[in-house]
Structure 1
Amino acid sequence: MTKNVIFVVSEWGYWGEELIGPLEACDAAGYNITFVTPTGKKPTPLTVSMTPGYFDPPLGRSVTSDYYAQKTRELYESDRIDHPKSLADWFPQRAYPSSPTYLRDMEAYYRRLDEIVANELSGYDALVVVGGSGALVDLANNQRLHDLILGFYQLNKVIATECYGVTCLAFARDFREKRSIIWGRHVTGHPIDYDYLDGTGFEGPHAIDGSNQGFGDGFINFGPPFYPLEYILRDAVGPEGQFIGRVGHTTSVIVDYPFITSRSTASSAECGRILIEVLEKGLTRYNW
């Protein structure tokens, strides 16, 4: 039976290779793909991920190859990701405690979540959360995305996250228990050694079309990332888990089923290959 995979992508700048790597692996395997963004807008790739030879300061080398630059631009210029599914339309918003109907609102909220998990998520086999700096803006603290992740976790289905998309695992937690779902797990992610000191930017939907309108006139430099992901992940896994940065190794992909975590750009193709091995061969542990 053909497998169905959800790809969640930021609307404020995804790294092209981090989408193309696992997407090509899924396409080659003949999987059905559903693209999802926070509000249903077409996602925007970071310009530097379409610029061959782009030099990454922390790594001291180019991180954008001709191949992935071309593939990223081709995907963006095609109509394949023009109409992604909207998380805001799909998942309910959790009620504020100050709501005068809080208890009834929360009952309706959990009832709808249970319906989605049982009747809709059960039809999917894997979830992929694509990285890039835009994930800091609209994915990391997105309650609806957390609920999507929790639904896959409840169903024991594969959850793959890349780069700053791994943050979503640290923050995805049952609202009543408030403990991360990666507590006690082994994960990788963007280590502080590879964080920018300057140049972290976000690109909205007007960054590429030439209109230079919208947030930051299409681009704004925030200097370093909003947070050091390594520290967040170290705290999220707790004393019985482990953050594995594999600093100095070209790639870092970790499988601690049902989680696949991928460090950053260079690991994208490996992330896709390992995703297929998890889905087709039952791989449950890798690289630890």
Structure 2
Amino acid sequence: MTKILIILSEYGYWGEELLGPLVAFDERGYQSVFATPTGKRAHALPPSLDPGYIDPPLGRSVTTPEVAVAARELDESSRLDNPISLEQWIPDRPYQSEQDPLRRMEAYYRELATLDTDVEQYDALVVVGGSGPIVDLANNGRLHELVLAFVRADKPILALCYGVAALAFARDWEDRKSIIWGKHVTGHCKEYDYKDGTGFLGVDFNMGPPPYPLEYILRDATGPDGRYHGNVGKETSVIVDHPYVTARSTPDSFLGGSKLVEVLESGLRRYGW
């Protein structure tokens, strides 16, 4: 059975960005396994479950009544209970300033070496988007190590919306070069960023605009031989440049999931560019 590891933020995921891929996986009979940074149960961002919510940059609702119902049912089900904890699974890189740093680094790499074996049981990795990943996924060192393990295994990775930031920041500590250097990707474009109202679950805080424009990061991370595709004005934007499948935002969730299925079952290596 094909087995997919799905990473969710504990600060809120966008309902459709989990629902879309999951529907594609369920239709094919895949087994989906969920993980969060510390093992807390993930929940959907309230606006993503409200078909009456008007997305400010687009000036319209981005959630259909049907998707809102399905996403709410998923969020309220027991399916997302008891996720894997990245904190308990993957070691934390020690500071150089800690006592006996050489021995600590040796222990870190010994423990990390088992990760390549651990990912053998999975066929693909998914990083779900929304505003939550800005907080606990984008610069999560444990997630970066997991992403690198999937890359070494040549297994596909689907990242959606602001979840794509984790790909840009996942880098080998030896050369610090982005793993998407020379690749074609999409992700949340500047035109779709909020000017105000970026919020998270569990904290009473309006960040205003996102703390960084993901588009600019992706443009820099892909380098002169790669490319960021915003596809502004087009209803969907999904890019496949093996092993990466990237989806721009909410409307791309179902297409992103179906393209990952094509990667797994039909050997798709390029799409959208």
TM-score range, shorter chain: over 0.9
Shift of 1:199: 1.0
Does residue 163 of structure 1 match 2:131? no
Give the aligned partner of residue 95 of structure 2.
96
Distance (whole Å) between structure 2 residues aligned to residue 248 and residue 127 of structure 1:
29
Give the aligned partner of residue 39 of structure 1.
38
Q: How many residues align?
A: 273
* 1:102-141 mapped onto 2 (5 Å cutoff): 102-118=101-117, 120-141=118-139
Give the aligned partner of residue 81 of structure 1.
80
Runs of 4+ in 1 over 4 A off after TM superposition: none
- Picking from 177, 180, 193, the partner of 1:179 is 177
Shift of 1:172: 0.2
Give the aligned partner of residue 70 of structure 2.
71
Distance (whole Å) between structure 1 residues aligned to residue 104 and residue 169 of structure 2:
23
Distance (whole Å) between structure 2 residues aligned to residue 112 and residue 144 of structure 1:
12
Give the aligned partner of residue 261 of structure 1.
246
Instruction: Write the deviation string for residues 136-168 of structure 1: whole angstroms up to 9, x where unpaired.
Output: 000000000000000000100011100000000
Shift of 1:73: 1.1
Shift of 1:53: 2.5
Instruction: Write the deviation string for residues 179-218 of structure 1: whole angstroms up to 9, x where unpaired.
Output: 11001110000110111111111112xxxxxxxxxx22xx
Percent of aligned pairs with the same amino acid: 58
Give the aligned partner of residue 150 of structure 2.
152
| Amino acid paired to 1:16 | G
Distance (whole Å) between structure 1 residues aligned to residue 29 and residue 106 of structure 2:
39
Distance (whole Å) between structure 2 residues aligned to residue 104 and residue 286 of structure 1:
45
Q: Is the 8 A contact 2:115 2:146 kept in 1?
A: no
Distance (whole Å) between structure 2 residues aligned to residue 166 and residue 105 of structure 1:
31
Give the aligned partner of residue 226 of structure 1.
211
- Picking from 249, 256, 265, the partner of 1:271 is 256
Distance (whole Å) between structure 2 residues aligned to residue 102 and residue 175 of structure 1:
16
TM-score, L = length of structure 2: 0.98
Give the aligned partner of residue 15 of structure 2.
16
Q: Is the 8 A contact 2:123 2:155 kept in 1?
A: yes
Specify every segment of 5 or more residues in structure 2 that has no aligned partner in the other structure, as ranges.
none
TM-score, L = length of structure 1: 0.93
Q: Is the 8 A contact 2:198 2:210 kept in 1?
A: yes
Q: Is the 8 A contact 2:21 2:257 kept in 1?
A: yes
Distance (whole Å) between structure 2 residues aligned to residue 108 and residue 181 of structure 1:
25
User: Secondary structure of the equivalent of 1:225?
Assistant: coil
Distance (whole Å) between structure 2 residues aligned to residue 32 and residue 4 of structure 1:
5
| Amino acid paired to 1:144 | R
Distance (whole Å) between structure 2 residues aligned to residue 268 and residue 198 of structure 1:
24
Distance (whole Å) between structure 2 residues aligned to residue 191 and residue 150 of structure 1:
25
Give the aligned partner of residue 270 of structure 2.
285
- Does 109-118 or 252-261 show the bigger shift? 109-118
Give the aligned partner of residue 201 of structure 2.
203
| Amino acid paired to 1:268 | S
Instruction: Write the deviation string for residues 101-131 of structure 1: whole angstroms up to 9, x where unpaired.
Output: 211111121122211212x101110000000
Distance (whole Å) between structure 2 residues aligned to residue 249 and residue 111 of structure 1:
47
Give the aligned partner of residue 242 of structure 1.
227
Distance (whole Å) between structure 2 residues aligned to residue 285 and residue 48 of structure 1:
33
Specify every segment of 5 or more residues in structure 1 that has no aligned partner in the other structure, as ranges.
205-214
| Amino acid paired to 1:240 | D
Distance (whole Å) between structure 2 residues aligned to residue 236 and residue 181 of structure 1:
8
